[in-house]
Amino acid sequence: GSDRLGPTAVYNSVGKIQANKILGGVLLNQKLSPAAVASEGDKLKLSMLIRTFFNHHKGWHVQYNIVSRETLLAAKKNPEQYRDLVVRVAGYSAFFTALSPDA
């Protein structure tokens, strides 16, 4: 699976890894559009997806970055208006305005 096929495909792929044999487990970062969790029903679906990842696939760790492309572009254009925007970066979180423009 890959991000092109959605989070279920990613979870199916990651679920094949024997995380208990990897020191520290497996870190999984996922990005979602804010539209994916806009309604209460959407949030319930995400909750069920997460439970399935941990219960069925024996997932170790998952983190989400839920921010739109439009927000990121606006933050790049007007960083002073987005000082509190935090994004996931390969294993850590950072304030968007503190990142290099090349990041």
Structural domains in the chain (count): 2
The answer on 78 and 40 residing in a single domain is: no
Quickly count: other Cβ atoms within 10 Å of residue 89's Cβ: 13
3-state secondary structure of 30: strand
The answer on 86 and 60 residing in a single domain is: no
- Which has the higher per-residue pLDDT, 17 or 44? 44
The answer on 7 and 56 residing in a single domain is: yes
The answer on 76 and 58 residing in a single domain is: no
pLDDT tens by residue, 35-92: 999 999 999 999 999 999 999 988 888 889 899 999 999 999 999 999 999 998 877 8
Distance separating alpha carbons of residues 98 and 79, to the nearest angstrom: 9
- Which has the higher per-residue pLDDT, 50 or 102? 50
Question: Which structural domain range is residue 86 located in?
Answer: 67-103
The answer on 35 and 52 residing in a single domain is: yes
Q: Is the pLDDT of residue 1 over 70?
A: no
